[in-house]
Each structure stands twice: as structure tokens, then as C-alpha cells.
């Protein structure tokens, strides 16, 4: 296992969590209410754009974003062979090198490093799965849970369309420019049909991600963690944390049934299905999403003060 490199961009630090190092960045006043952002499969912390984090911080939050293990500037498991994807989907692959529970442990360890007993946790896509696992397995660390474009692990809900899977399951790119072209073509399929595609921002982010640490083998190991994780539905029914589920009505990668099932499983949760939203975070929706997160945080903080 190795970190992707020793040099870190301005504002980025690393936390030692067990055997791995987690690269992270913060926005806002450390004494403010903490909000931990967890990104999805193959996506570095850059998937939470700077401006989105700054907007959330401007609402009185201490915002933390980080690279999951095996992407970006966090530890990569280069000494572990990538899984056979065909065997993975047929159930014939060996146990993965780590699980979503391990990735939830990374989040808890990062909170330890920052001296935080708990935080409001927001996860997108695979990040939503990790956030759910964190709330289930480390409930004392989660003040509120926001699950965005994610699902429960029940294979009967949230399945990707064939076109969406085809847009992602392609051979690795070889150059920075190819990485930029790939992300634009992918988001033309999985992105939000009701909102403009910000191609310039996508290209910039893809280029930065390629420079920080392009590792398709790491992505396959993350995918193995998702595919081999059991259905969380019954355990979600036991959560007692204020929960918000946000999902695009037009999401082809994790279809909206996954979000609906998540909201149905968690007692008392709120569900916001957004028309025209796909599997991304369009800039035009940032105010709505930040408003909903902020309202949940305020509700949870008020309830906590009363307890």
C-alpha cells in the first residue's frame, strides 16, 4: 500500500488512519458545526467542487472533504491485484482487499484525527453507501445523515441502466486529454438532462484528478467493495439519526428506486426527488442542495440540544 505521492497541494493534508493515509481538505471555521463530505466511486474529493464547499461553509459549517482510499492522494493498494470484474459480478471473485465498512472506518478515523467526536455526514453515490455504513456501525459519530444519489445495497432497487453502465465500464485511458474526453462523454449519459452540462468545469476537474492520481485498478477495488457488501436495508431500519435522502428523478446510474428505498428504510427520513437531476451535482442545484443540508443540520442540532 502506498500513498499516491509525497507532495500535497496547498490546503490539503493527510491523516493516518490505521494502515492507510487519508488526504483531506477543510473549509470554514473549525469551531463551526462540522459537515463531512464523502464522494463516490472513482471520484476524488474534487467531486465536491471548491465553490460548493465554500457555499456550504458560508452557512455556518466547518466542511471537510477527503479522498477515499484508492483514489487521489490517499493510500492506494498497489500491491493488491485488481479484481476480475466478470467474476466479481457473478459472485466468483475472492474476498476484496477491503469493504465499505473499512471505508466507513476511514471516515471515523479522519474525525478522530480532526478531534471531532461526531459530524453531520453527507455522502454521494458510493459515498452515500459509506455514510450509511458509518451511521449503522458508528452511530455515535453521525449527527445527521444525508444520502445523495445512493441506495441500500438491495440489488432489486437502484440498478443502473445498460447505457449508464456502458458509459463507465470502458478500458482505461492513457492520457490526460483522454481522461478529460472520457468524463465529458460519461456525463452526457449519466448527468442531469434538465440542467446544463458544464463541460469546461468537468474537463478542468478531470485534468486535476488525472494529475493527482489516476488509478483504474484502485477504482476496480472500490467497485469490489460495493458489489460484495450485503444489503443494508434491515440495519437502516434501526437508525435513529435525522436523515435526508436526495435523488435525481432522471438518474440512470443509480435509479431513483434506490433513493426511495433508502428513505423508506430509515425511520422519519425526508426524501427530496429532484426532476431533471441525473447522477451528478449540477451547479444550478447547489443552492437547493445546500439549503436542504443546512435545514437538516439545524434540525438535528436543535434536537440534540434538547436531548
- Model-wide pTM > 0.75: yes
4 confidence band (pLDDT: 50, 70, 90): very low
Average pLDDT over the chain reads 95
Residue 5 scores a pLDDT above 60: no
Average pLDDT over residues 146-163: 98
Q: Which domains does the chain have, with CATH numbers?
A: 2-306 (3.40.50.1820)
Mean pLDDT across the stretch 19-27?
A: 98
* pLDDT tens-digit readout, 170-193: 899 999 999 999 999 999 999 999
pLDDT at 81: 85
235's CB contacts (< 8 A; 6+ apart) are 136
Under the banding of pLDDT at 50, 70 and 90, the label for residue 2 is low
8-state DSSP, 132: H
- In the three-class reduction of DSSP (H, G, I as helix; E, B as strand; rest coil), residue 55 is classed as helix
How does pLDDT run across 280-299, given as a tens digit for each residue? 999 999 999 999 999 999 99
Residue 92 has a pLDDT of 74
Mean pLDDT of 191-200: 98
Can you say how many angstroms the Cα of residue 56 is from the centroid of all Cα atoms in its chain? 16
Q: Give 1's contacts (C-beta < 8 A, 6+ positions apart).
A: 19, 20, 75, 76, 77, 78, 79, 80
Mean pLDDT for the stretch of residues 97-107: 97
pLDDT of residue 3: 57
Q: 6 falls in which pLDDT band (50, 70, 90)?
A: low
- Predicted local distance difference test score (pLDDT) of residue 277: 99
**Strand ranges for 107-196 from DSSP E:** 119-124, 142-148
For residue range 238-277, what is the model confidence (pLDDT) as tens digits? 999 999 999 999 999 999 999 999 999 999 999 999 999 9
pLDDT surpassing 60 at residue 160: yes
Contact (Cβ atoms closer than 8 angstroms) between residue 130 and residue 107: yes
pLDDT at 306 over 70: no
pLDDT tens digits, 53-100: 999 999 999 999 999 999 999 999 999 988 877 777 777 777 889 999
How far, in Å, are 121, 285, 300, 305 from residue 143 at the CA level? 7, 24, 7, 12
- Give the CA radius of gyration of the chain: 18
What is the average pLDDT across 183-211? 97
Q: Contacts for 296-305 with beta carbons within 8 Å, 24 or more apart?
A: 296/120, 296/144, 296/146, 296/242, 296/243, 296/244, 296/270, 297/33, 297/35, 297/61, 297/120, 297/143, 297/144, 299/144, 299/242, 300/120, 300/143, 300/144, 300/241, 300/242, 301/33, 301/143, 303/242, 304/143
| Percent of the residues in the chain that have a pLDDT greater than 70, as a whole number | 97
Amino acid at each position: 500500500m502506498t500513498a499516491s505521492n509525497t507532495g500535497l497541494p496547498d490546503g490539503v493534508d493527510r491523516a493516518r488512519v490505521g494502515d492507510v493515509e487519508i488526504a483531506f481538505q477543510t473549509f470554514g471555521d473549525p469551531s463551526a458545526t462540522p459537515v463531512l463530505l464523502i464522494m463516490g466511486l472513482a471520484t476524488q474529493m474534487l467531486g465536491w467542487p471548491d465553490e460548493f464547499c465554500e457555499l456550504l461553509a458560508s452557512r455556518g459549517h466547518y466542511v471537510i472533504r477527503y479522498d477515499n482510499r484508492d483514489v487521489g492522494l490517499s493510500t492506494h493498494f498497489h500491491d493488491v491485484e485488481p479484481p476480475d470484474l466478470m467474476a466479481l459480478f457473478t459472485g466468483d471473485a475472492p474476498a476484496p482487499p477491503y469493504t465499505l465498512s473499512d471505508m466507513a472506518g476511514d471516515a471515523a478515523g479522519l474525525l478522530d484525527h480532526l478531534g471531532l467526536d461526531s459530524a453531520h455526514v453527507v455522502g454521494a453515490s458510493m459515498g452515500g453507501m459509506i455514510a450509511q455504513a458509518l451511521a449503522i456501525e458508528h452511530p455515535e459519530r453521525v449527527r445527521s445523515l444525508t444520502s445523495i444519489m445512493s441506495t441500500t445495497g438491495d440489488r432489486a432497487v437502484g440498478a443502473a441502466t445498460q447505457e449508464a453502465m456502458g458509459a463507465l465500464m470502458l478500458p482505461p485511458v492513457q492520457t490526460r486529454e483522454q481522461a478529460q474526453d472520457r468524463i465529458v462523454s460519461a456525463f452526457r449519459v449519466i448527468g442531469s438532462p434538465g440542467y446544463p452540462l458544464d463541460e469546461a468545469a468537468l474537463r478542468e476537474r478531470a485534468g486535476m484528478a488525472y494529475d493527482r492520481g489516476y488509478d483504474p485498478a484502485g477504482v476496480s477495488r472500490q467497485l469490489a467493495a460495493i458489489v460484495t457488501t450485503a444489503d443494508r436495508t434491515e440495519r437502516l431500519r434501526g437508525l435513529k439519526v435525522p436523515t435526508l435522502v436526495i435523488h435525481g428523478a432522471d438518474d440512470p446510474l443509480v435509479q431513483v428506486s434506490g433513493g426511495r428505498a433508502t428513505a423508506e428504510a430509515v425511520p422519519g427520513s425526508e426524501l427530496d426527488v429532484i426532476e431533471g437531476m441525473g447522477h451528478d451535482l449540477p451547479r444550478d442545484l447547489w443552492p437547493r442542495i445546500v439549503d436542504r443540508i443546512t435545514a437538516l443540520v439545524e434540525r438535528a442540532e436543535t434536537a440534540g440540544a434538547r436531548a
